[in-house]
Amino acid sequence: MALSNSQYKSIIRDYEHTRDVNRSLSAARQEKVYAAIPGFRELAESVSSLSVASARRMLEGDEHALEQLHQELASISDRQKQLLKEHGFPPDYLAPLYTCPDCQDTGYVTANDGLKEKCHCFRQKEIRILYAQSNIQNMIGQENFSTLSYDYYEGSDLKRFEAAVNISRDFIRTFGEEYCNLFFYGTVGTGKSFLSGCIAQELLQSGRSVIYFSASGLFDTLARYSFDYKSREALEDFYEDFYSCDLLIIDDLGTEITNSFVTSRLFSCLNERYLRRKATLISTNLSLEELRDRYSDRIFSRITSSFTLCKLTGPDIRILKKRMANASALSIQET
């Protein structure tokens, strides 16, 4: 799915706003330094006069003018850093501020072929607009490592959850360096979607592109585009996003109506992303036996051979939390 013109302009305006904010912050930092360090303003302003003088000497034929300018500028830079440090400021306090240093808040970077291409931060903005229906922002607002708790597990259930948390943290830590896929499976309400949200939040914050879909929502979307001849172009764009995003999360696999269309599309997705070395995370309440019986042997083989399998067991935490909340409310009423 391509961005509409208004959506594209909205992203560009967002970058313009970001640059304006960062310029204001930089100017405020500069004024703070000028007020705190005597002579710093004059030292900074001497750069322009030195550059003008050097340009004049170059026009007059001085072959050493540029080299001398570089030496003088380096000396000024060293002196500035020294003064900043002496007055309690970080040495890079006056360096340009960028929300995304890779594209310097322009949305575009220069590729190896010299052409401009969308930065990873632009792709994530794009994905958030195009796939707003995934509700990923709502999910990660509640399901992230800051709200993680081991209090609802015990015994072997606790050991499995601890192992899954460690695997999730390793997945995040080595993301982009080591190719890995995750498959969370087990009983209902044991933290599979929660860990998916934790991973999604961490990768989004690091600038990675993440697309989240419930299994039923994903295959409904694919069917809608596939069987509407007017949406062929949108389907091609959707597949490209689907195949190329850094992480694809398919939540609650098995809740969709499984048929030959679903099976073929699921295998195509898994296989294409495997070939592109793009990570996929799947969560399901199905057991491995149910997974094998419901889907094709090719899908079962692909998942069990190229995914790290994490089994989660225990009580349904959602029901447990509700019971605890009701018990707490009842206790308050009785007092």
Take residue 125 and report the two structure tokens written for it: 């903005």
- In this structure, of 67-81, 127-141, 264-278, 305-319, the range with the lowest mean pLDDT score is 127-141
* Backbone phi, psi, residue 54, to 5°: -65, -40
Give the pTM.
0.65
Give the mean pLDDT of the chain: 87
pLDDT at 335 over 70: no
Q: Give the percent of the chain with pLDDT over 90.
A: 51
Query: Could you write out the DSSP letters of every residue in 180-214?
Result: --EEEEESTTSSHHHHHHHHHHHHHHTT--EEEEE
**Are 19 and 121 contacting, i.e. CB atoms less than 8 angstroms apart?**
no
pLDDT of the residue at 64: 85
Burial of 288 (0-12, 13-18, 19+ CB in 10 A): middle
Please, which residues bridge with residue 118 across strands?
108
Cα dist from 206 to 78, 90, 319, whole Å: 32, 24, 33
The owner of tokens 């900043």 is: 84
- Considering only 168-182, 198-212, 230-244, 277-291, which range has the smallest mean pLDDT? 230-244
Could you tell me the CA-to-CA distances from 216 to 207, 223, 290 in Å, in that order? 27, 11, 17
Query: Please, are residues 94 and 80 in contact by the beta-carbon 8 Å criterion?
Result: yes
Q: What is the mean pLDDT of residues 151-169?
A: 94
**Which of these ranges, 108-122, 225-239, 245-259, 313-327, has the smallest mean pLDDT?**
225-239
pLDDT of residue 301: 95
CATH 3.40.50.300 applies to domain 131-321: yes
Q: Which residue has the tokens 């005597």?
A: 38
Span 5-13, mean pLDDT?
Answer: 85
Domain ranges of the chain: 131-321
